[in-house]
Chain A
Amino acid sequence: MLGVVRKKMLGQSLLKIRPAVSMLRSYSSAAKQMTVRDALNSALDEEMSADQKVFLMGEEVGEYQGAYKISKGLLEKYGPERVLDTPITEAGFAGIAVGAAYHGLKPVVEFMTFNFSMQAIDHIINSAAKSNYMSAGQMSVPIVFRGPNGAAAGVGAQHSQCYAAWYASCPGLKVLTPYSSEDARGLLKAAIRDPDPVVFLENELLYGESFSVSDEVLDSSFCLPIGKAKIERVGRDVTITAFSKMVGHALKAAEILEKDGIDAEVINLRSIRPLDRSTINASVRKTNRLITVEEGFPQHGVGAEICASVVEESFAYLDAPVERIAGADVPMPYAANLERLAVPQVEDIVRAVKRACYRSVPLAAAA
């Protein structure tokens, strides 16, 4: 792969040209560690420096350096015209960002958590997602709505909902769920460059986690394609699909299962809409068993859609019923032990895989 030199060089570009590897096909194999937080910060930084139309808007993104420090340092670098601290008016500023996007600017709207996006959901769906269609292509909306999604630790029912299924059901939106730092960087860059509205669902508990990243990930033109899943671990016996935090759980479950002789294939979905049905189906046709894992509520969730897709396209290949592992069908409780019961754990995944592989007797659905 040729080293890439950014063509777009504006005033204060942060571009780091890597001369040593620019002509070599392979990058150096020494892997760096990078937290998801730094990955997101660097992606925002690079996109803002490359294109002056990109600006960041949200509560506490400026002087507070970001409610979760994702936008640290950006206010100093780009000034208050491009990093805007807003009043607490989700509906208002989401709409303002959509209006700016109609005129070709590229807003990145941060919701402190996606629970607060419900105050602005009219704008996300009605004026962002549907506009390209209603105007027959005249108004495209190159906007990114990002923020932490899903359960954190002990934050209670109103701060813990997962919105992947809600937003992914709406045509006109692209919904992304990064897991590792590589995902975070690549998908956020792709989202900002994308001419359509993107809902970018991060996870607060992943912000501090470190992942190793190769040099190509650190390159400023690194971009991951939207709509492609990643096979994190290749296996033969069962397919486990997951996104966001649950990918980590699935990988740990796979390690445990390996000792029992079950070789699990773990798919990191990365993109909930458009869903990478071909990768999932190809995997199921290989392994013949499927477990879907998600953190959100079970009814009408992401797992339900994946199950339907597999039944429609690969029914003959299934050797066992598809199992959905999802959060408990209750608003998130506060007590720590109840919260642990309400969110899928590694043991739940292990048990489900064993059931699917006929290694144990199926228990009742409320495992």
Chain B
Amino acid sequence: MATAFSTAKFSTQPFPLNPTSTTSHDSSIVFARPTSQFLGSTRKFRLTSSSKFNLSRRSKTVVAVSDVVKQKKSKSSPSLLITKEEGLDLYEDMVLGRAFEDMCAQMYYRGKMFGFVHLYNGQEAVSTGFIKLLKQQDSVVSTYRDHVHALSKGVPARAVMSELFGKTTGCCRGQGGSMHMFSREHNLLGGFAFIGEGIPVATGAAFTSKYKREVLKEADCDHVTLAFFGDGTCNNGQFFECLNMAALWKLPIVFVVENNLWAIGMSHLRATSDPHIYKKGPAFGMPGIHVDGMDVLKVREVAKEAIGRARRGEGPTLVECETYRFRGHSLADPDELRDPAEKARYAARDPITALKKYLIENSLASEAELKTIEKKIDEVVEDAVEFADESPVPSRSQLLENVFADPKGFGIGPDGRYRCEDPKFTEGTAHV
């Protein structure tokens, strides 16, 4: 099987995504002062000639890791990037994402799911790589391709599946649907159908974290927010507005671009004047990093740095993950415009297969252990489908619920008399 990281694939692309720049050297840092020259992704192509996952050289191919981290790695003896537990955890999360999405496709074609369903196959490394580093109080904001973000953040598979079936046991009681996953408990702030809509909301969540620390004096509030969005969104005005304000106010946010090169049928290269999205970060005063989004370990290393930066109060980061979706834009998309050769190339770089290979080759897990995980996930997904199938549909009275948190109109009590939120307020001074 071809190595997942050879440079060969890039030479066949019509537009060189990265001009070869073999002169760039290791000491260049991307996380340095924003005013420095951007030096990130050109180094991506300084790949090892070895076809194996060579560890010490592997650390150099991880783009945009700060100087300090890199030096530590090269000094110490080649150590693994993850422990066994972490590895199995990552593997399980990615397999859950994949199995769940495949089951969604099956259910859609059987008519149990309807409307717009956007699947995440192939991009699992980005979701797992980033979200598994977060705490429960950190927030995630996503787009319509949000099932796997919800699962990685901890929303139970049963709740997500029921929501997709439109049942009342779903995470939003069936009122949201595939594109609008919300979970207060897990701080998943949606699920937005308009591209770019989630970015300001994520910036606002990051703003809240800073506000809580500075104004409300919750001194240890260091919650980070991740905003996930695609390559098409990077041409949208709201994206730039938020890059500006996040950098201006030094908000604890990481902007994660899932660049899968296609916005429905519009190729990123046809839609964008400068397709290097990571470059747009330094223009606003934050670091911009490009990382191989098909490799969960690379994504995880970059994510650690970016999330660490945000937690320390150093401000936002823009991370461009080069990834690919194996299926069409949505289940209604015939997906005719993408070149089958391109699809095959990326299928060969399947993140789950790559991680499996890594775990086995580095003796972190045996084939049997991984098979056990896969079986377990199959059972979880089957159980989720059964649960969703057996759940009731929402009752008719649910139609008019939840429009307002305070439906009467503020100031009018349930008995029809005026009241005010102030508990000492008796009859109310307000008379019509």
Contact = CB atoms under 8 A, between A and B. Distances in A.
Contact of B402 (A1, A4, A133): A133
A336 B56 CA distance: 77
B245 A87 contact: yes
B16 interface: no
B207 A136 contact: no
A242 to B, nearest CB: 16
A95 B208 contact: no
A230 interface: yes
In which size bucket is the chain A interface?
A: 35 or more
Interface string A87-105: 1010111111111111111
A98 B199 CA distance: 11
Nearest to A89: B241
A137 interface: yes
Interface string B411-432: 1100000101111111111101
Interface string A127-163: 1000111111111101000000000000000000000
A110 to B, nearest CB: 16
6 contacts: A7-B424, A123-B200, A135-B402, A216-B430, A224-B430, A227-B408
Nearest to B244: A87
A97 B204 contact: yes
Interface residues of chain B: helix, strand, loop or mixed (majority)? loop
B205 interface: yes
A195 B409 contact: no
Interface in A170-214: 171-172, 174, 186, 190-191, 193-196
A237 to B, nearest CB: 21
B432 A133 contact: no
Interface stretch (B90-98, B178-186, B254-262, B321-329): B178-186
Contact of B214 (A4, A5, A81): A81
B175 A133 contact: yes
A123 B200 CA distance: 9
A139 B245 contact: no
Contact of B404 (A5, A126, A196): A196
Max count, chain B CB within 10 A of own CB: residue among A7, A82, A100, A271? A100
A7 B404 CA distance: 26
B405 A223 contact: no
B410 A194 contact: yes
Contacts of A216: 429-430
Contacts of A227: 408-409, 411-412
Contacts, number: 228
Contacts of B238: 91-92, 95
B423 A55 contact: no
A8 interface: yes
B190 A172 contact: no
B184 A92 contact: no
Interface of A: 1-2, 4-8, 52-53, 55, 81-82, 86-87, 89, 91-105, 122-123, 126-127, 131-140, 142, 171-172, 174, 186, 190-191, 193-196, 216-217, 219, 221-231, 271, 274
Nearest to B199: A95
Contact of A99 (B180, B194, B205, B428): B205
A269 to B, nearest CB: 12
Given A92-B238, A134-B180, A194 B201 contact: no
Contact of A8 (B199, B216, B422): B422
B336 interface: no
B201 A102 contact: yes
Max count, chain B CB within 10 A of own CB: residue among A5, A132, A219, A228? A132
A100 B205 contact: yes
A55 B411 CA distance: 21
Interface of B: 139, 141, 172-176, 180, 182-184, 189-194, 197, 199-209, 211, 214-216, 237-238, 241-242, 244-245, 248, 401-406, 408-412, 418, 420-430, 432
Given A226-B411, A228-B409, 5 more contacts: A4-B424, A89-B245, A91-B200, A92-B242, A231-B432
B424 A274 contact: no
B429 A219 contact: yes
10 closest residue pairs by CB, A with B = A99-B204, A95-B200, A227-B409, A92-B241, A225-B411, A135-B182, A136-B173, A99-B201, A194-B410, A140-B405
B426 A1 contact: yes
A223 B211 contact: no
A186 B175 contact: no
B69 to A, nearest CB: 31
Contacts of B425: 4, 221, 223
A75 to B, nearest CB: 14
Contacts of B206: 99
A204 B93 CA distance: 55
Nearest to A143: B204
A96 B203 contact: yes
Contact of B200 (A96, A133, A228, A231): A96
B429 A193 contact: no
A136 B406 contact: no
Contacts of B204: 95-103
B189 A99 contact: yes
